[in-house]
A and B are shown apart, each in its own frame.
Chain A
Amino acid sequence: MIPSFSTLFDFYYFLFNAFDYFIIVYVAVINAIYFLMMVLGFFAVRHYRDGLSAVEMRSLFRSSLLPSVSILAPAYNESATIRQSVRAMLGLHYPDHEVVVINDGSKDDTLQILIDEFHLYRSSRQAIARLHSKPIRAVYESRDPIRLVVIDKENGGKADSLNAGLNIARSDLVAAIDADSLLDSDALLQVVKPFLADPDTIAVGGIVRVANGCRVEHGRVTRIALPKSWLARFQVVEYLRAFLGGRVAFSFLGSLLLISGAFGLFKRWAAIEAGGFDRRTVGEDMELVVRLYHQRRKKNLPCRIVFVPDPVCWTEVPETLKTLQRQRNRWQRGTLESLWIHREMLLNPRFGVVGVIGMGYFTFFEALGPLVELLGYFVTLTGLIAGLIAPSTALLFFIVSVASGVLLSVSAVLLEEFTLRRYPNPSDVLRLLAAALIENFGYRQINTIWRVRGMVDALRRKRGWGAMERRGFTTS
């Protein structure tokens, strides 16, 4: 039934309120889904019993049935940290792994540091795959008894570097990690287990945690602590929400669309068969996972991709608004690009749970969510000022968006407390809870704006990562 409007004001009043109610319902639905994911994640983590005990890890370490692993670490201008990072990777507790550092046309002396530190010589090691990448200038190996390969190539970006690494790597599995990420020493043993448990496993993701504020010694996190800056603390909460809530839940549902670029393990042949990492997108980590599903489901091939909460990768998060903004802009662009490239999968039952739930969620909530939320703030505020929206409706919107956001953030912290408990200090938990509360008043809204800007940039086909400032880890 179409309502009648006596004045133009009435029409606008109806329009604003109707739109605002739509947004309220949308935000309520999305937060309800997040909450369900959090609850599912909680029970799924408690049921997760596949983590290896210390005794089992010792046994597995001695087994010759363990697959070999190549760690691919793209590096661009990493002279400050490359020595420590590579030594840490070489020292990982795993019996059969090699480290492949891809020097992506660094302008500093990253390559020379590696040559000097590890006694590299120019080797004749050949590429065994033919994925597209920028020309390789040279491949180096070490005269020392360490399994280190350094690829020196022209600058082409992270995806391009990973493809070069895939071409040169020799192992059954490849781990794509950031050169400045720090893996726990047993991380590889933990993350390899799903491949042994189920041969249909194609890729596994581990949890990424915030290293800011932690003490790092010789490339290992030796003391876990919260960052001092509130910006980094907000990101700790975000990461908990994303990994312990979202990734665990989606992995449990069999529709995990995203393995973090900071730490993901793939079957090498599967990644090569799929065409490697897509150089056209800045979200190459997500795009490859979606493409694996897309291609393999089309051919009715098994494609099990899981997340395990045990193995930990520590990474430095931005502590300035500018750098954080670039990162969030890039993440949003990457998400949209990946979803657009594989739009055939969206809500398509042919692709099973991944197409219906995974793609559906990411498209309607992760991709469009920031836009709807921002519109909500705009419409509500302007409507309130212009008298087109009732104060109770405006209050309803702010409560649904902000209060439920607080619930989700606090739930993420409690999920961490109940399950993995990496922050044993009670005062750290209290600080995290405070961050969970405060982040919904300002930080989250700024993030929404950045993500919307990322959407606009994606539509304008903007490319590139932007410069990332790094401060380095706290060392003893």
Chain B
Amino acid sequence: MNTTKSRTTVYVKTGAVAAVYAALLWAVYEYSALRWPGRSWFWVAAAFVGVQCALTSTILVGVYIHRSVVEIRRRRGLTALYFLRQCVASHAGGEDMRNELAPTVKSFAAEFDTTLLEFLDGFRGTERERLVHLGVSMGTVDRSIRAYRSRNPLKRRNALDSLAKIASPEAQHTLETALHDPDESLRLTASRALLSVGGRAEAEKVFSFSLRQAPVFRALVAEDLRPFILVLTEKAVPEALGSGNPREVLAALDIIWSWGRVIDLPEATAFIDSPDSVIRAVAIHACRYAAPHILALKVPRCLEDSAPIVRRAAAEAAQRLVLPDALPQLLQCLSDSDERVARSAARAMSQMGEKGLQLLEAQVIQGPSHVAPVALEAVEKARLGRIEWE
């Protein structure tokens, strides 16, 4: 998402280019009109054409020069690549190749960094540590830290990715600073990087941080927080749930739901009675994993909730947890005014074994006209075995 500052920058740059273009046109026109007075409109057109051609040619030439330079650099880099790879591989294997590498790294620093990062992906344990030390001593970390200070957001993002891969203590400070970067995508990169290099403390930091970010941020970070689920449920998650801040509570419940893993967190069930219907609904989804045994007792009541979003969540929970005790309430939900609730209830009933299917089939034959089609669809899908994989 663009920040306000970023959007302002775009407008300013656009205005600057337009102003320069207009100034060029005016300058050429003034010069032409002075030298050849009369036919002012003609000189306007001539100025227009002249400036356009000049600009277009300059840009075209610039593009091809840039491309050529990039290509020349790439080919030049290729000549050193084989040597760099050999040295890095040998260093990982136990030989100290720093002296051999130092002169080459001076001229081919970018190629060395790329090679090192490629190798880091494939090594673990002692070899990886040796490569990390090599990166530190050859200046890869320093270069990445400097690159993070660039104004080019892509360079900064790549720098954070590099620091994450190297995962040295020297990189930690920069990653923690980047957590507060005004650019959301860089905050995200920093979060993910910290999780890959750090331990418990970093995981708790990132988790707390993500509670105040946009849903897309949480969706991405939640996956990286998975290895730390047990650690987070000891302290960070309960703290978030007990914070009293509805936004943070909702975010925490979202993350628990997205993990989709059974954890012991009975305090999450308190939010099934929240005054906010959205929190109630998300709490039901989350409690399928956080406290399924408590949720099972509350589902029948939730199926009679005043908010359709809650009733729907309860129906889905009944389906996932297979709660035959909720059949009477599910039957009532077939007539729900919200068709999504009715469908969810029908699907849930179809998963309750023959009893649920028989109730549905009775609705197909004898039920009201708005209930029968919903029941029929659920029965059909259950008999064909579609519901399991849909």
Contact = CB atoms under 8 A, between A and B. Distances in A.
A400 to B, nearest CB: 6
A44 B13 CA distance: 10
Contacts of B44: 396
B215 interface: yes
Interface stretch (A74-82, A191-199, A212-220, A339-347): A191-199
A4 interface: no
Interface string B219-236: 110111000000000000
Interface in A159-211: 170, 193, 196-199
A197 B217 CA distance: 8
Interface stretch (B26-34, B55-63, B138-146, B301-309): B55-63
Contact of B223 (A43, A62, A147): A62
Interface in B305-352: 339-340, 343
Nearest to A407: B52
Contact of B48 (A47, A48, A400): A400
A106 B95 CA distance: 71
A145 B384 CA distance: 10
A141 B325 CA distance: 32
A50 B42 contact: no
A393 B215 CA distance: 58
Given A36-B18, A39-B14, A65 B45 contact: no
A399 B46 CA distance: 8
Interface string B1-40: 1100011011101100110010000000000000000010
B214 interface: yes
B14 A126 contact: no
Interface string B193-236: 00000000000000000000011101110111000000000000
Contacts of B188: 56
Contacts of B214: 196-198
Interface in A373-407: 392-393, 395-396, 399-400, 403-404, 406-407
B185 interface: yes
Contacts of A125: 377
Contacts of B219: 59-60, 63, 65-66, 196
A454 B364 CA distance: 52
B268 to A, nearest CB: 16
Interface string B48-80: 110010011001100110010000000000000
Nearest to B260: A64
A115 to B, nearest CB: 16
A426 B64 CA distance: 9
A393 B389 contact: no
B63 A414 contact: yes
B384 A143 contact: yes
A321 interface: no
Interface in A401-458: 403-404, 406-407, 410-411, 414, 417-418, 426, 433
B368 interface: no
A396 B339 CA distance: 64
A126 B339 CA distance: 11
Given A40-B10, A60-B219, A50 B377 contact: no
B248 interface: no
Contact of B14 (A43, A48, A60): A43
Contacts of B339: 128
B101 interface: no
A65 B258 contact: yes
B183 interface: yes
A417 B65 CA distance: 13
A124 B41 contact: no
Given A65-B215, A392-B39, A36 B10 contact: no
Contacts of A121: 384
Contact of B215 (A170, A199, A411): A199
Contact of B42 (A36, A48, A396): A396
B377 A123 contact: yes
A49 interface: yes
Interface string B238-267: 000000000000000010011010000000
Of residues A56, A60, A199, which shows the largest number of chain B Cβ atoms within 10 Å of its Cβ? A56
Contacts of A406: 52
Contact of A399 (B1, B45, B257): B45
A196 B215 contact: yes
A43 B15 CA distance: 11
A407 B67 contact: no
Interface in A117-134: 121, 123-126, 128
Contacts of A418: 63
Contacts of A49: 153-154, 157, 183, 185
A270 B307 CA distance: 19
Contacts of A55: 192
A252 interface: yes
A28 to B, nearest CB: 8
Interface string A58-73: 0110111110000000
Nearest to B154: A49
A264 to B, nearest CB: 20
B390 interface: yes
Nearest to B6: A47
Contact of B10 (A47, A128, A392): A47
Of residues A62, A404, A411, which shows the largest number of chain B Cβ atoms within 10 Å of its Cβ? A62
A392 B42 contact: yes
Nearest to B152: A46
Nearest to B216: A196
A1 B249 CA distance: 73
Interface in B55-112: 55-56, 59-60, 63-64, 67
A36 B22 CA distance: 11
Contacts of B2: 47-48
Contact of A197 (B1, B60, B63, B343): B1
A73 B74 CA distance: 44
B14 A124 contact: no
Given A35-B18, A59-B219, 6 more contacts: A43-B10, A49-B153, A396-B44, A407-B52, A414-B59, A414-B60
7 contacts: A35-B21, A47-B7, A48-B2, A63-B223, A143-B384, A396-B41, A417-B63
Those 4 A-B pairs whose CB atoms lie nearest each other, nearest first: A196-B216, A59-B223, A63-B219, A65-B219
